[in-house]
Structure 1
Amino acid sequence: MFGREGRLVLVNGQYRPVVPAAPGRAQRWRLVNGCTSRVLAVRLEGHTLQQIAQDGTFLPSPAPRQQLVLAPGNRADVVVQPDRAGRFTLIADPYDRGSGMGGAPASTGPVPLATLVVDGPAAVAPALPATLPAEPPPASATATRSTSFRMGMGGMRGGRGDAMPMSFTVDGRAYDPDRDDQIVAAGTVEEWTVTNTGPLAHPFHLHVWPFTVVAASDGRPPLGVPQDVVLVPPGGWVRLRIPFTTHTGRSVYHCHILDHEDAGMMATITVR
């Protein structure tokens, strides 16, 4: 139900690797959550992460983060500014994804990911820029639309034809590659409300057309820049502004917990 998390979390294919650094010499890290189901609430001991980009697009200005939450599929660029020698652990803290149908919480203990080892002669790092070349979001929408991720008790079959004890659907229907679920007029800007009727958080991912989060039911402040994965809270919603102005064609949107996607929580979208 929660999706497979596995016993180990690897960084670049390695178990708890060492990242060398020198005092005062800033490093740019691109953090990619390539896990099947695990949400990573990342922090670096003794340091503030300066986030400069989300899902491949710049933020308006560097944003200091004591912890950075990455759903499966999320990417974030951060600048690490070590200011003293020592060993500092990059950690994924427990993250409450919600509860199962039986009420059991889905959370894990702190997971060490890597160790930043700072040593050598000190240097003076240049200051971060005050502004970044962020892409401005569309000012308004010309149409609205709603879609929902839903979980239910079984009887359904997954993408490989395996019987599933739970059903995972979009708008109550399992994925069918031959069905057009959403048809959008090219050149329009739409505002979508994506709801999550179930007890678990689901990361919404739309291919091809980046979106800007306008609001979320849990009150998190929007980043204000295009992204392509956003976590929809249990029993909640997110509101997205999507410009369908760059490409036409057919693609998909889905839950980025890949076990849920494979079980049917995916839908098609055609822009023409």
Structure 2
Amino acid sequence: MDREGMANVSARTVPSPSTPGENGPPSTPKSRGADARALTQVLFAQLVGLEPGTPEHSRVRDALIEANLPLVRYAAARFRSRNEPMEDIIQVGTIGLINAIDRFDPGRGVQFPTFAMPTVVGEIKRYFRDNVRTVHVPRRLHELWVQVNSATEDLTVQHGRSPTTAEIAERLKLGEDEVLACIEAGRSYHATSLEAAQEGDGMPGLLDRLGYEDPALAGVEHRDLVRHLLVQLPEREQRILLLRYYSNLTQSQISAELGVSQMHVSRLLSRSFARLRSANRIDS
């Protein structure tokens, strides 16, 4: 970037920030953000009237990029846990910032940070999707993979066919195991779709072969608990509960089955529930 040009543009547009204690209290992150927004508005107002490709247009555009780099760093911090150098993420985010600057229309009444953030984050996500390995591999293995890939292309042109592992190993003076490990590492750049059919074996896609969660699995512990509690009841009460809730008989049908009144069946069910609740000390 032309830093001299950016300094000149900034000096013509907004006052230079005062040093702490010189003309006022030290600047805070909030005040610095407000200054950056004010500078951005002024620079966009200037950029609208300039012809693209001219030196003045380039200087104002560079000043806009410089003024909004904190926005890129803020967006990049969201991806700090991704095992990628922060400098690379910021560089990719800066590309998104430049695209946002080129597309931004101040006349729409939208604040530039609001407009630019989705573009910056989207560019970073696209970078991870298209270029970053889905599995982290050691640096040495990655560097060897680059050599293996180059040797494979050279040998393919030389022989008119795909080279064997032994031919690649001989070209690079490596062991065949190392070459195979590099090839496997190269595959980690892109994940295979679960819906992709398996090559050569005629088998269905991975998605069709994945297991699923048995809907009855959650009830295993409950059934075991009920079984443990049921054995604590008298035999007749156990039978009434089984007829009512496992055979789905009504109280009238149970009374006919056991030769007792429906009222008695109702009392026995209530008593059984009370015993089961007192025996179950697990908080609901």
Q: TM-score range by the shorter chain?
A: under 0.3
Give the structure with higher Rg (CA). 2
> Relative CO higher for 1 or 2, CA cutoff 8 Å, sep ≥ 6?
1
TM-score normalised per structure 2:
0.17
Q: Which has the higher helix share?
A: 2
